[in-house]
Amino acid sequence: MSGSGSRVAVIPGDGIGMEVIPAALEVLDAAADTVGRPRLEATHLSWGCAYYAREGRMMPPDALDVLDEHDAILLGAIGSPEVPDHLAVWGLIMPIRQGFGQYVNLRPIKLLPGVQSPLRDRGPEDLDIVVVRENSEGEYANVGGHVHRGHEEEVAVQTGVFSRKGIERIVEFAFATAERRPRRRVASATKSNAWAYAMPLWDEVCLEVAARHPDVELTKYHVDALAARFATAPDSLDVVVASNLFGDILSDLGAALAGSLGIAPSGNIDPTRRHPSMFEPIHGSAPDIAGQGIANPFGAIWAGAMMLEHLGRDEEAALVVDALEWASSRPETRTPDLGGTGNTATVAAAVAARVAERTPSPA
């Protein structure tokens, strides 16, 4: 994985994904050049909603075999007004996550220097959270059914699936993450006062895992109270572990509090490394601004940095993150969603130039 020629499958996808992924690759190339390593070997794959319009499916039948020949996957965004969301997501994203055992969705939430949070009087030291989201089962297991369509008695049933194994491995990952961070805290998102079966099992397994990690403090929060804590006391949170649905919502809330959904990255991780992991910004395809050149590339660039770190290219990853923090502090190198005057291309070019001329800031 960390050899000289890391092979990356690149899926720009739809909408602003077509704009932010080239921006990210520009920065990643600059990082490789700066440290004197070969650039990533990118295989560009034109899968997504446009592919669906031509072929009637989001990606070809052998897509997982194609992807499995790579060390990592860089994804832009999936979605189009012409394709129902569930067809888009279950036609591309979920088959990759589930097929490759990417049971960890890792979402760092950090307020970057110079970015104004919607939270009054909060600075970068107050918002530095990692959401560890279960990514392969839970509420998104796609178990259920739909009967009597179009009739008055129409019924849809959606079932969450929570296995002891699935809960235990994601909670273990969260505790291992917390052990590498200074505050060593894990907040567990639950709703065991309302979900009488799945969430009590979640709570039970969390306590069992916590007993194996005595140096990490575990606090259980009902998810609604935890959402409020994101807004009222984000500095009290460190690592948050949550089910598929809860983690999805909480991390989007965190990204908004950090200034914009355009900032936040994510990694869909297979900790066993049997298959490639997939990295993507958490924003959607944003068809309302697609093609205008104003999409924020920060999330895609940061996702690229996470990918570099996963590939063992730590020096390059550090250069990229350092350059992002430099760019965030200047209006001319921020896009309009962050109150800046830059656009996708100028921001990416500035970040790449900073990478080319700098070494990482001292810890």
Between CA 192 and CA 203, with CA 198 as vertex, the angle to 5 degrees is 55
**Could you say which of 51, 191, 221, 270 is catalytic?**
191
For helices 298-310 and 314-328, what crossing angle results, to 10°? 160
Indicate which residue of 14, 128, 248, 322 is catalytic: 248
- Among residues 85, 165, 197, 224, the one annotated as catalytic is 224
Nearest to 254 by CA among 294, 282, 287, 278: 282
Residue 77's DSSP bridge partners are: 13
CA distances from 219 to 77, 169, 295, 345 (A): 34, 18, 37, 43
Among this protein's residues, is 191 annotated catalytic? yes
**235 tagged catalytic:** no
The token pair that represents 306 in the structure block: 């996470």
Name every residue whose Cβ is closer than 8 Å to that of residue 17 and which is 6 or more positions away in sequence: 11, 48, 75, 76, 77, 78, 285
Reply yes or no on whether 140 is catalytic.
Answer: yes
The answer to whether the CB of 362 falls within 8 A of the CB of 353 is: no
The answer to whether 73 and 12 have CB atoms below 8 angstroms apart is no
Report the alpha-carbon distance of residue 350 to residue 256 in Å, rounded: 24
Hey, what are 124's tokens?
């970068």
Active-site annotation holds for 68? no
For the four alpha carbons of 288, 289, 290 and 292, in that order, the dihedral sign comes to positive
- How far apart (Å, rounded) are the C-alpha atoms in residues 237 and 183? 9
Q: Which of 52, 103, 140, 221 is catalytic?
A: 140
Q: Which positions are annotated as active-site residues?
A: 140, 191, 224, 248, 252
